[in-house]
Amino acid sequence: MEGNSMRAALMAAFAAAAWGTTYVVTGALLPPDRPLFSAAIRALPIGLVMLAWRRRLPQGRWWWRTAVLALCTIGLFFPLLFLGAYLLPGGLASTLQAASPLVVMAIAWPLLKERPTALRVAAALIGLVGVALLVLRSPTTLPLWGVLAALASMLISALGFVLVKRWPAPTDMITMTSWQLVMGGLVLVPVALIVEGAPPAIDLPAALGYLWIAVAGTGVAYVCWFTGLKHLPAAAVSLIGLVNPVVATVLGVIVLHEAFGPMQALGAGLVLGSVVLGQPAVAERLRRRRAPEVATAA
């Protein structure tokens, strides 16, 4: 059982790390100022490939369930996330996203009957502080729409991830992911065309960048993330998601030569510590250690 949990945690960590590469790939390789087009290209083509591979469509109530999940995890989440990132200064959007574990815990309590433990709440708060130290810069102004978009993206994705766990997949995770990517991508395509106009010219670096974020950063990553949600508590998986800004920061230092000082190092340490602290295996080991002490005291 512990081995399955470890594999699920590693898969979720890969997903979070792959998502962390998106910022550098977008900034270095993709056409500028085309977030909706990039979001659509990220979701729809790989979703269609996966769907063609598995050759299975939703049945019965899974049509509307998939539509709800697709809106939460792709169709609404991507545009709101990009809007917040474009409007907010520094790393404030990432810091607001780092509150996701606390929101997931709040939603998972009534929907999944996962009562938040003190250890996980503490881990989520430590992680939030760590992300703030890691990416937050001194802001000048805080556009209201940017703050609302970032908060809305965090809330809608948290709800989607909890619903993924509440509604066990009726099929394998690749098929389930393909349904969400296709439906979410179909929502994004017309929005991108209306807001941003015709698609931009794609050179070789941009094509390679889109290939990476579509295959590794979306198709494979979402399968891994949903697999983590299947086998682990939702709160534990959401804490693993904090690996995202750590990877993004490290790549920013290596590729883009961004500054990295003692404050960022402390933030990275706090984030990684919070991820470990929030995992079921750690909680179980702490419980076993306390059990003899309680028995002795009694």
SS (H, E, C) 149-161: HHHHHHHHHHHHH
From residue 213, give the alpha-carbon distance in Å to each of 22, 31, 210, 220, 259. Answer: 6, 14, 5, 10, 25
Q: Is the pLDDT of residue 118 over 60?
A: yes
Q: How far apart are CA 163 and CA 279, in angstroms?
A: 20
Q: How far apart are CA 213 and CA 216, in angstroms?
A: 6
Tens digits of residue pLDDT in 11-20: 999 998 998 8
Q: Are 147 and 88 in contact (CB under 8 A)?
A: yes
Residue 222 CA to chain centroid, in angstroms? 9
DSSP 73: I
**What average pLDDT does the structure give for the chain?**
84
Place of tokens 């000048």: 140
pTM of the shown model: 0.86
pLDDT score, position 66: 96
User: Over pLDDT 70: what percentage of the chain?
Assistant: 86
Phi, psi of 138 (to 5 degrees): -70, 115
Lowest mean pLDDT, pick from 27-36, 89-98, 237-246: 89-98
Angle between helices 221-231 and 173-196 (to 10 degrees): 130
Q: How far apart are CA 165 and CA 64, in angstroms?
A: 16
Higher pLDDT, 174 or 138: 174
- Closest among 76, 98, 88 to 270, alpha carbons compared: 98
Q: Are 50 and 181 in contact (CB under 8 A)?
A: yes
Question: How many residues are listed for the chain in this entry?
Answer: 298
Confidence grade of residue 294 (pLDDT, cut at 50, 70, 90):
very low
CA atoms within 13 A on the CB side of 12: 28
User: Over pLDDT 90: what percentage of the chain?
Assistant: 38
pLDDT score, position 209: 92
Q: How far apart are CA 155 and CA 143, in angstroms?
A: 19
Tens digits of residue pLDDT in 183-215: 999 999 999 999 899 999 899 999 999 999 999
Q: How far apart are CA 5 and CA 46, in angstroms?
A: 28
pLDDT score, position 83: 76
Amino acid at 277: L
Amino acid at 289: R
Higher pLDDT, 97 or 91: 97
pLDDT score, position 283: 64
Amino acid at 58: P
Place of tokens 């802001």: 139
- Closest among 213, 85, 247 to 154, alpha carbons compared: 85
Burial of 210 (0-12, 13-18, 19+ CB in 10 A): buried
